[in-house]
Amino acid sequence: MTENVLWAGRLKEKPQAQAFAFQASLAVDRRLVYQDIEGSRAHVAMLAAQHIIDTETAQALERELSSIALELKTGSLTIDESAEDIHSFIEGILTARLGDRGRMVHAGRSRNDQVVTDCKLYLKQTVPALSAELEHLIAVLLERAEAELETIMPGYTHLQRAQPVTVAHHLVAWCAALFRDRGRLNDALCRLNECPLGSGALAGSGLAIDRAATAAALGFAGPTLNSMDSVADRDFAVELAAACALIQVHLSRFCEDIVLWSSSEFGFLSLADTWSTGSSIMPQKKNPDFAELIRGKSGRTTGNLVSLLTMLKGIPYAYNKDLQEDKEALFDSLDTVSQSLRMFCGMIESARFNRERLAQSCRSGFLEATDLADYLVRKGMPFRTAHAVVAHLVRDCSAAGKQSIDGMSLAQLQSYSELFDTDLYQILKPESCIAARRLPGGPAPEAVRRQIDLLRREINV
């Protein structure tokens, strides 16, 4: 049915079946079928308005395009797997049903500008949905954070206990990263909101087409600036692949926290059985497989980004068949991130924090050391001197087998500095260390509450 549509012209023969299959893209671009129909309908309306095709032909094309879309949705028409791509499939149906009038649909456009238009239309629908999934995960994390505003836990640098924070502070840190991810998706949407249709193969069209009309009809801000750039450009694919790679890397890092926290060594968190797996040989195991899979899938999205950049770097600046490779990588990244966001959301909703274990972990490892140095600074000691005093104190405590400073007597502490007084014992408590950090961005409950409120306003939840 579609066999003669794209192998006309100077070519007498199609490639052999194996070669044809190698260069075909239907398996990937079939998801663009409704966008291809939408773009063709706008193009047909413009051709009629510009008197390039007659009204009767335009009406016939519009009628059949609408019919094809309906038939595909109801299942009375299925995509022909022998077609080279989705564009040739649609045009082949039109030609089979309307004869020469079906062939008129392609006036003033090329597959080069057609495929980029389809892809951008698809992304204009898909990326907002992905952004909404990010917002949903942020909302879930914020809800979890509100329940853990007072739950103290050790904060880490270099995977070493550093200072006391709260579970809420840590969860909102994840939200801050996801909020930036949302911004990157929205930024990419702004830059891809230009319509390539009418750019032709690379040099536009000699017909009196109206590119602004088709751009407006399809919901774009306007037509692209330069016809050659229109078909050569895949910046939008790279931007979105990069945004997806970074989202997945963020999820990977969050999952690394979850894997650590759910281990016996940490014991900070317990995942629901439905978000864990057992072992085929060890009866006692409860493995955080979903977190590990999400973490592992960061390799896919990073690889897709590298694939796109590598594909683009060596091709001359117009259309080349290499560009067909853009969609498989980009679509895989979009699918992977969407699935991972949903899995992570369900997993974290079911997680339960071990508040007792978290609090206990804050009472060893000298997490109060920085606050003790700040105490001396408030007493007038230069910070570097205070840092050295507390470092000396921690070293001696550690050598004596002590796990915290508050076990030392005031006389012992004053042997390191006369500025130490009885009031220091209150500030050594993890809750006091956290409460003292109420500046913007800090872990104090009121500071975290402000962060939560700000993010809620930004995502309107």
Residue 412 lies in a domain: yes
Instruction: Express as a percent the part of the chain with pLDDT over 90.
Output: 86
C-alpha to C-alpha distance for 100 and 92, rounded to whole angstroms: 11
C-alpha to C-alpha distance for 103 and 67, rounded to whole angstroms: 17
- Domain boundary (87, 107, 127) is at 107
Per-residue pLDDT at 200 exceeds 80: yes
The pLDDT-based confidence of 329 (bands split at 50, 70, 90) is: very high
The pLDDT-based confidence of 143 (bands split at 50, 70, 90) is: very high
Residue 160 lies in a domain: no
Phi then psi dihedrals of residue 352, to 5 deg: -125, 130
User: What pLDDT, on the 0 to 100 scale, is given for residue 415?
Assistant: 94
Cβ pair 338, 133 in contact under 8 A = yes
Q: Which is catalytic among the residues 263, 279, 364, 398?
A: 279
Q: What is the mean pLDDT of the chain?
A: 94
Residue 253 lies in a domain: yes
Q: Give the tokens for residue 320.
A: 């080349």
pTM of the model: 0.93
Q: What secondary structure does DSSP assign to 62-114, as a single string?
A: HHHHHHHHHHHHHTSS---TTSSSHHHHHHHHHHHHHTHHHHGGGTT--HHHH
C-alpha to C-alpha distance for 94 and 383, rounded to whole angstroms: 78
* pLDDT, tens digit (0-9, with 9 covering 90-100), for 229-265: 999 999 999 999 999 999 999 999 999 999 999 999 9
User: What pLDDT, on the 0 to 100 scale, is given for residue 34?
Assistant: 98
- What is the longest distance spanned by two Cα atoms in the chain? 100
Per-residue pLDDT at 13 exceeds 80: no
The residue segments making up the domain with residue 79 are 17-107
User: What pLDDT, on the 0 to 100 scale, is given for residue 2?
Assistant: 42
Continuous segment of H or E residues that includes residue 297: none
User: What pLDDT, on the 0 to 100 scale, is given for residue 4?
Assistant: 44
How far is the CA of 224 from the CAs of 90, 113, 123, 227, 237, in angstroms? 25, 11, 16, 7, 16
3-state secondary structure of 296: helix
User: What pLDDT, on the 0 to 100 scale, is given for residue 12?
Assistant: 64
Q: Are residues 342 and 213 in the same domain?
A: yes
Q: Are residues 328 and 401 in the same domain?
A: no
Q: Which is catalytic among the residues 76, 158, 264, 409?
A: 158
Per-residue pLDDT at 412 exceeds 80: yes
Look at residues 177, 161, 172, 142 and name the one whose alpha carbon lies nearest to residue 433. Answer: 161
How far is the CA of 221 from the CAs of 132, 417, 436, in angstroms? 22, 67, 50
Helix, strand, coil share of the chain (percent; to 5): 65, 5, 30
User: What pLDDT, on the 0 to 100 scale, is given for residue 10?
Assistant: 63
Q: Are residues 374 and 347 in the same domain?
A: no
Per-residue pLDDT at 216 exceeds 90: yes
Burial of residue 368 (CB within 10 Å: 0-12, 13-18, 19+) is: buried
The pLDDT-based confidence of 18 (bands split at 50, 70, 90) is: confident
Supply the CATH number for residue 442's domain: 1.10.40.30
Q: Are residues 203 and 117 in the same domain?
A: yes
Q: Are residues 80 and 129 in the same domain?
A: no
Residue 5 lies in a domain: no
C-alpha to C-alpha distance for 192 and 457, rounded to whole angstroms: 27
Residue 33 lies in a domain: yes
Give the list of residues 6+ apart from residue 29 with CB closer than 8 angstroms, or none: 85, 86, 87, 115, 118, 327
Give the list of residues 6+ apart from residue 258 with CB closer than 8 angstroms, or none: 269, 271, 288, 291, 347, 348, 351
Q: Are residues 222 and 322 in the same domain?
A: yes
Residue 216 lies in a domain: yes
Per-residue pLDDT at 455 exceeds 70: yes
Give the list of residues 6+ apart from residue 346 with CB closer than 8 angstroms, or none: 275
Cβ pair 95, 5 in contact under 8 A = yes
C-alpha to C-alpha distance for 104 and 114, rounded to whole angstroms: 15
Q: Give the tokens for residue 143.
A: 């809800």
CA dihedral (219, 312, 109, 201) positive or negative: positive
Q: Are residues 21 and 99 in the same domain?
A: yes
Q: Give the tokens for residue 419.
A: 């500025």
C-alpha to C-alpha distance for 117 and 115, rounded to whole angstroms: 5
Per-residue pLDDT at 8 exceeds 60: no
Bridge-partner residues for 270, per DSSP? 352
- Domain boundary (322, 339, 354) is at 354
Cβ pair 172, 145 in contact under 8 A = yes
The CA dihedral of 355, 361, 362, 368, to the nearest 10 degrees, is -170
Distance of CA 142 to the CA centre of its chain: 18
Q: Are residues 138 and 21 in the same domain?
A: no
Residue 10 lies in a domain: no
User: What pLDDT, on the 0 to 100 scale, is given for residue 97?
Assistant: 97
Cβ pair 87, 34 in contact under 8 A = no
Distance of CA 51 to the CA centre of its chain: 44
One-letter amino acid of 392: H
- Domain boundary (354, 380, 407) is at 354
Bridge-partner residues for 223, per DSSP? 195
Supply the CATH number for residue 305's domain: 1.20.200.10
Beta strands per DSSP E along 293-368:
352-353
Per-residue pLDDT at 119 exceeds 60: yes
Active site residue 158: yes
The pLDDT-based confidence of 5 (bands split at 50, 70, 90) is: very low
* Number of neighbours of residue 85 by Cβ within 10 angstroms: 25
Per-residue pLDDT at 169 exceeds 60: yes
Look at residues 72, 187, 49 and name the one whose alpha carbon lies nearest to residue 123. Answer: 187
Cβ pair 256, 170 in contact under 8 A = no
The CA dihedral of 53, 58, 61, 67, to the nearest 10 degrees, is 170
Q: Are residues 44 and 80 in the same domain?
A: yes
Q: Are residues 47 and 185 in the same domain?
A: no
Q: Are residues 306 and 328 in the same domain?
A: yes
Q: Are residues 399 and 344 in the same domain?
A: no
C-alpha to C-alpha distance for 225 and 231, rounded to whole angstroms: 11
Residue 8 lies in a domain: no
Strand 160-166 and strand 269-270: pairing? unpaired
Q: How many domains does the chain have?
A: 3
Supply the CATH number for residue 51's domain: 1.10.275.10
* Number of neighbours of residue 79 by Cβ within 10 angstroms: 14
Per-residue pLDDT at 271 exceeds 60: yes
3-state secondary structure of 154: strand
